[in-house]
Structure 1
Amino acid sequence: MTNEAVQPYQRIVRDVREKIISGQFTGGEKLPSTRDLATEHRVSPGTVQRALAELRSAGLIYSHQGSGSYVSELASNTDLDPTARAIKALETQVEKLAARLDRIENRLDD
């Protein structure tokens, strides 16, 4: 499935899930704020809230009103070995670089 076929909130869910799996976000760690995630993903705060709700229902994160959202301890204890985590982290970086390249190419085409 291409990025264009995925809803914006699903891209956020996938991004956060991959960061948890790769170890970039660890158990108990506070996630970036809704505003920061909205800015990073170029979406509205409501879209981020929808993504966070899905992550909560999947048991990957938990939230405290007024404090923020945090990575669940159980979510960060995956069965991936260090090599698999490293590969996943590299895949995430390649996806981000590809997306940045697409944005740059689109600006040059304008």
Structure 2
Amino acid sequence: MDYISSEELARYEQIALMIAGEILRGTYNEGERVSGRTILAGQYGVSPETVRKALALLQARQVVEVVPGSGVIILSRQAARDFIEDFHEHNSLEVLERRLDTLIKQRNKLNAEIDKLVKEIVHFKTGMLKNMQNAEEILVSPGSPLVGKSVQEAQLRTVTGVTVTAVRRRGRWYASPGTELRLSAGDLLLVVGNQKAVDRLRRLAEGKPALTDG
């Protein structure tokens, strides 16, 4: 059973549980007459009104009987046990419901963040597809100076002005190739750029001399 913490109880509920616990432990015996509200308030360090509410809870469950002007009579140890078990069971359910409500709110917030992220991804992919429509494929020849170099090492964006979005090797695509992927003869480069930049890279990939601007 998932018991609630003392911080989640009202003070008078804590006192009622403490008195019931004292009865279970034998501190107070059945038929015994114990001190009145004022003295009990001093023992537990609370106000007489708090003790009154606590005793009202216990009296409603026939754990004790409050006799005005005479004190408190302990009625039943078993009733004290039942009170403690029922109280925890009832209030633990409330705690679980509050936790569930909190988790639902967190889930809703997370779902909203997921929806936002999905929209951003769709937007990003849509932009990529538009770029792909203008993309071209360039084959790396055996005599190309690109062989053995990564895209970063070859500084293709700086040298030619194109962006290499992916590399295809033996039927497998490598998106956004990093430094660990070194180009080989037969690699197919998927590139995006203006026609002049693409032509520069094509000559470089074929091992031909670069064209001079003029």
TM-score over 0.5 (shorter chain): yes
Q: Aligned partners of 2:43, 2:11: CA distance in 1, in Å?
A: 12
Deviation at 1:20, TM superposition (A): 1.0
- Equivalent position SS for 2:33: coil
For structure 2, list consecutive stretches of 5 or more residues without a partner in the other structure.
82-214
Instruction: Give the TM-score normalised by structure 1.
Output: 0.62
Letter in 1 for 2:40: L
More helix by share: 1
Query: What is the RMSD of the two structures over their aligned residues, measured on CA atoms?
Result: 1.8
Q: Is the 8 A contact 2:36 2:70 kept in 1?
A: no
- Alignment-derived partner of residue 29 in structure 2: 26
Deviation at 1:32, TM superposition (A): 2.5
> Where in structure 1 do 4 or more consecutive aligned residues deviate above 4 Å?
none
What are the equivalent positions in structure 2 for 1:63-102 lying under 5 Å apart? 63-72=66-75, 75-76=76-77
Q: Aligned partners of 1:63, 1:20: CA distance in 2, in Å?
A: 15
> Which protein has greater RCO, CA pairs closer than 8 Å, 6+ apart?
1
Q: Aligned partners of 1:14, 1:77: CA distance in 2, in Å?
A: 14
Deviation at 1:46, TM superposition (A): 0.8
Q: Aligned partners of 2:9, 2:31: CA distance in 1, in Å?
A: 28
Letter in 2 for 1:25: Y
Which protein shows a greater Rg?
Answer: 2
Deviation at 1:60, TM superposition (A): 0.4
- Alignment-derived partner of residue 37 in structure 1: 40
Deviation at 1:77, TM superposition (A): 5.3
The percent identity for this pair of structures is 27
